[in-house]
Amino acid sequence: MDYNAEATRSLARIAEQKPLIHQITNVVVTNDSANMTLGFGALPVMAYAPEEVAEMAAMAQALVLNIGTLSAAEIEAMLLAGRSAGDSGVPIVLDPVGAGATRFRTESALRLMSELPVTVLRGNRGEIGALVGSGQVRGVEAVGTEDPRAVAQAAAERFRVVTAVTGPVDFVVGDGRVLEVRNGHPLLGRITGSGCMSTAAIGIFLTAGEDVLLQTALGLGTYGLAAERAAEGEPGPGTFRSRLLDEVAALGAGSTHGLQISEA
Amino acid sequence: MDYNAEATRSLARIAEQKPLIHQITNVVVTNDSANMTLGFGALPVMAYAPEEVAEMAAMAQALVLNIGTLSAAEIEAMLLAGRSAGDSGVPIVLDPVGAGATRFRTESALRLMSELPVTVLRGNRGEIGALVGSGQVRGVEAVGTEDPRAVAQAAAERFRVVTAVTGPVDFVVGDGRVLEVRNGHPLLGRITGSGCMSTAAIGIFLTAGEDVLLQTALGLGTYGLAAERAAEGEPGPGTFRSRLLDEVAALGAGSTHGLQISEA
Amino acid sequence: MDYNAEATRSLARIAEQKPLIHQITNVVVTNDSANMTLGFGALPVMAYAPEEVAEMAAMAQALVLNIGTLSAAEIEAMLLAGRSAGDSGVPIVLDPVGAGATRFRTESALRLMSELPVTVLRGNRGEIGALVGSGQVRGVEAVGTEDPRAVAQAAAERFRVVTAVTGPVDFVVGDGRVLEVRNGHPLLGRITGSGCMSTAAIGIFLTAGEDVLLQTALGLGTYGLAAERAAEGEPGPGTFRSRLLDEVAALGAGSTHGLQISEA
């Protein structure tokens, strides 16, 4: 498959349709995630109130749920939004930030997985591992030795959902297929919310095509490619963070040369 | 009127008096809005708790209310703060982010307008249009074909409040007068919170003069001028965002040459 | 004492151990504080839910509490987290942002001081002064004429806790000793959250040594040194903010030449 052509097509579709991406995400990454969404050419809307989330999710083209700073009230809002999204055929991406670090996070993530028609699950190998009983997490960081591909496969099977386990290599698993994405840069690990932003990228790309596995890989790949370009010249993390948004915004107008996606 | 002289005078007054700007705003823009306030030489304070908002608002020189990520509890805090501001003669600016997108937002904005002595209402044509029954909003973005000037006039008449409808050209309407502001840059549309920051700019400028219409236009104009300067060389949105704050901070020490305000 | 050698040793220890820094902080500075923590080589985790804060605090190496946008619920979460940290021997740093500006802030800060085994208290002279009955605060800014050293000494005696009063010169007082830190730059006053980030720096350094007074001074000194380096060439505040993170991240790999800590 010509992944560059697919990425170019998806980026053009996003720029043309300006999909609305409803995000219920953590307070750390809210601003970055909204800016990243605008960078890709989509429209972010952050809405959390139980009074409005169902209405907002129903009019969105994708719903991104992220439990990075969850509360009991926010979980309820996510359930309301997620049910509404499901009823309206709006794809849902879930980022179980810090699952495995506390029982509340693990249980909340599992509850969302069990009650909502999640389209894509994305996390690091510790977080996804925790949901299938094998991960180790310190705070929001994976610290165990799990094999990321095996973790992705276990989650994809258990939850019957496309699962992306991201790290030095990203593994996207579902429907008996596996895609590997080799884009990205270590500087992503030096800024907060880089994983959360990749989850938003997946949500955005899900609006641009029907093949969930492919669109997930394209979202991760183009985001990682922008990171590689932003890292040129080895800037510090503060400068890198600004440039990352510059490079995401430049993706639509430029080439996606350097995209490294392959079937595994 | 010599708008450059007025802008210079207002900027000097802000730098000298360091007005306290109490902001109850959304989680997306909180950090940017606080930085922008410091950039203009004013002091931001973000305070949301019902236990303290009345006290904080009474000691502030302006109160900025923004419903971008509102909740029922936050609306109550806004009412408490707004009543206290009204009792103390503190001007109030309201930004009805996303009004028209959900009933909760539209109704909350209308409730704030009806219960509080709002000084200035600022939004895009979709949001303000929604409050007078004509707007179309997707998420937080205007998508209809309303005439922004007509929308501003309708809101100014209906609510008897100075109303700013911002876009490629900003229209500030009230007391039978109309000011047009032609500063700004398309890159503002590529970063999140650019409208919210313009609302904060209005709040800051209201502390520097009695003519509400004029001060509103000066806030929008100087902010837009800083954006034009930050956009020189066509940076990406991440770099633009940093430079915007640089240029706002440089306004006080420099000239406001390029300000485009006129009576319409 | 060779403060440069101590700073180098602490930075190396932080980079090696990657301590988990649990932060319950305000919405304005959440993202910056998390990025700053990563910059120093530590791992931030922001967790606020009463269901999980005790568990998270117990596994952390330091707990940072900041009341910048406090609510009644957040105070309860801080108490839960703080008691758990105390039980587990995890050091606690408290930043009483805006104490003195409203009764709610002053009383909440005093309650936290009285109910929790706080290790270090850090604030500006207005905030710390308010806790000992002498400070003046407008919003979150000190405006009185208190002598910062006297304020720090009064708080250290009253609360029997190491106290850092920061400003043009930082005074760190406790156990009958006083350290002065002369690093920093006026540009820190032009960006929001610069004080909050210095509090996070203290929390991070507390994980790298037993001498609380020394580690507090090293945290403030290295952070201030990074600010001096970021300010070279007099950038605007937006550019300075990005560079500050760059320079913090460069501290570990470089020299701490220029550190200005002395016994007073």
Q: Work out the number of other CB atoms within 10 angstroms of the CB of residue B147.
A: 14
Question: Rg for chain A (alpha carbons), in Å?
Answer: 16
For residue C145, the model assigns a pLDDT of 73
For residue B146, the model assigns a pLDDT of 78
DSSP-based three-state secondary structure for A148:
helix
- Averaged confidence pLDDT in chain B: 96
Name the residue of chain C whose CA is nearest to B251's CA.
C236
Conformation bin of residue A184: beta by default, left when phi > 0, alpha when psi is -120 to 50: left
DSSP-based three-state secondary structure for A200:
helix
CATH topology of domain A3-263: UDP-N-acetylmuramoyl-L-alanine:D-glutamate ligase (3.40.1190)
Does the pLDDT value for residue A158 go beyond 80?
A: yes
Banded model confidence at residue A163, pLDDT cuts 50, 70, 90: very high
Question: How far is Cα C200 from Cα C219, in angstroms, rounded to an integer?
Answer: 9
The tens digit of pLDDT for each residue in A37-92 reads: 999 999 999 999 999 999 999 999 999 999 999 999 999 999 999 999 999 999 99
Does the pLDDT value for residue B135 go beyond 80?
A: no
Beta partners for residue A172, in sequence order: A164, A179
For residue C133, the model assigns a pLDDT of 87
> Count of CB contacts below 8 A, A vs B?
96
DSSP class of residue A168?
S
Beta partners for residue C63, in sequence order: C22, C92
Residues lower than pLDDT 50 in chain C: none
Q: How close A207 gets to chain B, by Cα (Å)?
A: 16
Residues of chain C in Cβ contact (below 8 Å) with chain B: 26-32, 68-72, 98, 101-105, 138-141, 189-193, 235-239, 241-242
Task: Specify burial of residue B256 (Cβ count, 10 A radius: 0-12, 13-18, 19+).
Answer: buried
For residue A140, the model assigns a pLDDT of 74
Weakest mean pLDDT among A38-52, A169-183, B124-138, B148-162: B124-138
Residue with tokens 């305070």: B47
pTM of the model: 0.96
Question: How far is Cα B75 from Cα B107, in angstroms, rounded to an integer?
Answer: 11
Q: Give which of B22, B30, B241 to mutate to test C binding, by max C Cβ within 10 Å.
A: B30
The tens digit of pLDDT for each residue in C171-219 reads: 999 989 999 999 999 999 999 999 999 999 999 999 999 999 999 999 9
Q: Which two tokens stand for residue B163?
A: 């109303």
Closest CA to B84 of B121, B119, B52: B52
For residue A142, the model assigns a pLDDT of 74
H and E: helices and strands count for chain A: 10, 11
- Contact residues on chain B for A247, CB-CB shorter than 8 A: 236
Does the pLDDT value for residue B39 go beyond 90?
A: yes
ipTM over 0.90: yes
> C190, B38: Cβ pair inside 8 Å?
yes
For residue C7, the model assigns a pLDDT of 97
Does the pLDDT value for residue A120 go beyond 90?
A: yes
* Nearest residue, CB atoms, A55 vs list B103, B189, B242: B103
Q: How close C31 gets to chain B, by Cα (Å)?
A: 8
Question: How far is Cα C154 from Cα C161, in angstroms, rounded to an integer?
Answer: 10
Q: Work out the number of other CB atoms within 10 angstroms of the CB of residue B176.
A: 9
Question: How far is Cα C258 from Cα C221, in angstroms, rounded to an integer?
Answer: 9
Per-position DSSP letters for chain B, written without gaps between them: --HHHHHHHHHHHHHHH--EEEEE--TTTHHHHHHHHHHTT-EEEE---TTTHHHHHHHSSEEEEE-TT--HHHHHHHHHHHHHHHHHT--EEEE-TTBTTBHHHHHHHHHHHHHS--SEEEEEHHHHHHHTT---EETTEE-S---HHHHHHHHHHHHTSEEEEESSSEEEEETTEEEEE----GGGGGSTTHHHHHHHHHHHHHTT-S-HHHHHHHHHHHHHHHHHHHTTT---HHHHHHHHHHHHHHHTTS--TT--EEE-
Task: Specify burial of residue C47 (Cβ count, 10 A radius: 0-12, 13-18, 19+).
Answer: buried
Q: How close A199 gets to chain B, by Cα (Å)?
A: 17
Q: What is the 3-state secondary structure (H, E, C) of chain C?
A: CCHHHHHHHHHHHHHHHCCEEEEECCCCCHHHHHHHHHHCCCEEEECCCCCCHHHHHHHCCEEEEECCCCCHHHHHHHHHHHHHHHHHCCCEEEECCCECCEHHHHHHHHHHHHHCCCCEEEECHHHHHHHCCCCCEECCEECCCCCHHHHHHHHHHHHCCEEEECCCCEEEEECCEEEEECCCCHHHHHCCCHHHHHHHHHHHHHCCCCCHHHHHHHHHHHHHHHHHHHCCCCCCHHHHHHHHHHHHHHHCCCCCCCCCEEEC
Does the pLDDT value for residue A99 go beyond 80?
A: yes
For residue B138, the model assigns a pLDDT of 77
